[in-house]
Amino acid sequence: MIEVSVKDLYRQWLNDPVVDDETKAELRALEGQEKEIEDRFYRDLEFGTGGLRGVIGAGTNRMNRYTVGRASQGLAQYVNSLGTASPSVAIAYDSRHRSPEFALEAALVLAANGVKAYVFESLRPTPELSFAVRHLGASAGIVITASHNPPEYNGYKVYGPDGGQIVPDAAEKVMAQIAAVDSFRDVKRIERSNAEAEGKLVWIGKDIDEKYIQAVVEASPNPGVVRAAEQAGVSLRIVYTPLHGSGNLPVRQALAAAGFRDVRVVAEQELPDPQFSTVKSPNPEERDAFELAIRVAEAEGADLLLGTDPDCDRVGAVVKDADGKYTVLNGNQTGALIAEYIMENLSARNAMPKNPAVIKTIVTSELGAEVARHYGAAVLNTLTGFKYIGEKMTEFERTGEHSFVFGYEESYGYLAGTYARDKDAVVASLLIAEACIYWKRQGLTLYDVLQRLYERHGFYLETLESRTLKGKDGLQKMREMMDEWRRNSPAAAAGVQITEKLDYMQDVHGLPLENVLKFLLADGSWFCLRPSGTEPKIKMYFGVKGANNEDARNKLDSLVSDVMSRIDAAI
């Protein structure tokens, strides 16, 4: 049976005069569906690595105008508590269902609380929001997006004044303010016409776009690389798919500004589509997302394929392998290649900054770290989530301890340049294309260069496994699994001794506390268990280093098999 508190919440929504008739009709249609009602009301949406994220629909555990309004009321109260003379928030959104409506709802609540809302007049990439917060001197930022989640999802990501996603300390303060909003009647809201007339709702667009693209292009370590290649008779043919998201215009604009002229867009996936109707998932980590792009590439003889997710903060790259077949690079491989391109060119131009640093996450491959160290750069590890990389960048800016050169994570997120504090698929697309034409001029493909990196630094292989555990029962199961691995950690995995257990719920290298376990093995392999902060999943990351590709593959297969047998036995 459903708990009384859940039933009470359900009835409160049905009887609340603030809740509109359409929402109430949706709820009445659920009468007798106790499991569904429980899933919608057993909790409030919580901030994870990406802020609020959930299925669109009525309920406290859903994305709707009321949960967005309540979150915005809490954010407004938090921003006003900072004592800023003229508080403001920049807002962007992507192509998902209800994104424009949720963005406007947030703006009108902020405006009613005396906080100016700068809102993009149409969909924009998440990294441009990060840039806009910094450029406008805003107190905070919001992006309405659910990244690569299925079409039924949307989300609400909050950014701090540095342009980075808010980290746990700030998130807890925002959540405390949200929790203090007891009723929808406590959510202040102003009409759009009044907000515009009072200057509390300001629409932004082209001017920010131009400055953002300029900042992206200026992040190149070799600004003349395209022109130099063309003068040598070398050109590049690129196929690009925005996967129905917000990357279509900015990615093409950045590539054009850098000199790339031969860019073919996958027509079926060019325009915004909240259903993402041509793919199973709008996720550039999945080869299926590139099916149409690969067909175009094969017909056109393309050198490079690029695909960005709906909010254009992550990018996947597809290149030809040794047999001439198109292969999807994983996030670790792409990150290592971008790092090599940046570091090699900065070194060649004597443009390496003082005390250079590359930042990556604890579940990201060591290959990119080895590349960075090869060129004399420091390597810093953060928890999973680009907000921690952005936090380190801001720390460098304050202390001068290091100069940021490149940041990346295995989940296809990359950033070069200091104009933003979040991963940026626009600059990453540009850098991948530049790297491709740079090495093509030398008679090398990106695949060739990757093999060269393996020969130089070792054959690193990684993979990710996940298990979906939905609803209240799923959350409890994930907690139990993590507790069990803490209490009864194995002494070995795949026949190799485990030399160290890193429990990030304890103090590890001064990092924030998080429910993550990482196990280090005697042969340099590792694996990590982490409940997702944005999806109902528990994720298992694996990494090995081998003497050659076959050795690394055998090590990885054995490690995954051993660990996942224990994981699956517990589900």
| Catalytic residue numbers, as ranges | 147
Beta-sheet pairing, 88-93 with 537-546: unpaired
Closest by CA to 171, choosing from 180, 160, 162, 161, is 160
Nearest-angstrom CA–CA distance, 105 and 243 = 26
What H or E segment, with its residue span, contains residue 497? Answer: strand 496-503
**Contact status, residue 414 vs residue 306, Cβ threshold 8 Å:** no
Which amino acid belongs to residue 95?
S
Burial of 17 per CB tally in 10 Å (0-12, 13-18, 19+) = exposed
Looking up tokens 């029962």, which residue turns up?
Answer: 473
Closest by CA to 68, choosing from 245, 187, 186, 167, is 187
Chain center to CA of 102: 20
- Integer angstrom CA distances of residue 138 from 127, 313, 370, 392: 15, 20, 37, 20
Nearest-angstrom CA–CA distance, 253 and 259 = 10
Burial of 85 per CB tally in 10 Å (0-12, 13-18, 19+) = exposed
Beta-sheet pairing, 413-415 with 459-468: unpaired
Joined together, the tokens standing for residue 46 give: 């919580």
Closest by CA to 386, choosing from 130, 212, 156, is 130
What H or E segment, with its residue span, contains residue 174? Answer: helix 168-179
Length of the chain: 571
How far is it between the farthest Cα atoms of the chain? 74
For residue 474, the tally of other CB atoms under 10 A from its CB is 18
Contacts 24+ apart (CB under 8 A), 21-24: 23/58, 23/64, 23/66
Positions of E strands within 446-563: 459-468, 492-493, 496-503, 517-521, 526-531, 537-546
Beta-sheet pairing, 153-159 with 496-503: unpaired
Sign of CA dihedral 384, 120, 52, 181: positive
Closest by CA to 470, choosing from 5, 153, 128, is 153
Closest by CA to 98, choosing from 274, 272, 248, 281, is 274
Nearest-angstrom CA–CA distance, 478 and 470 = 10
Joined together, the tokens standing for residue 484 give: 């069990």
Beta-sheet pairing, 326-328 with 315-320: antiparallel
Nearest-angstrom CA–CA distance, 484 and 476 = 12
Nearest-angstrom CA–CA distance, 90 and 455 = 46
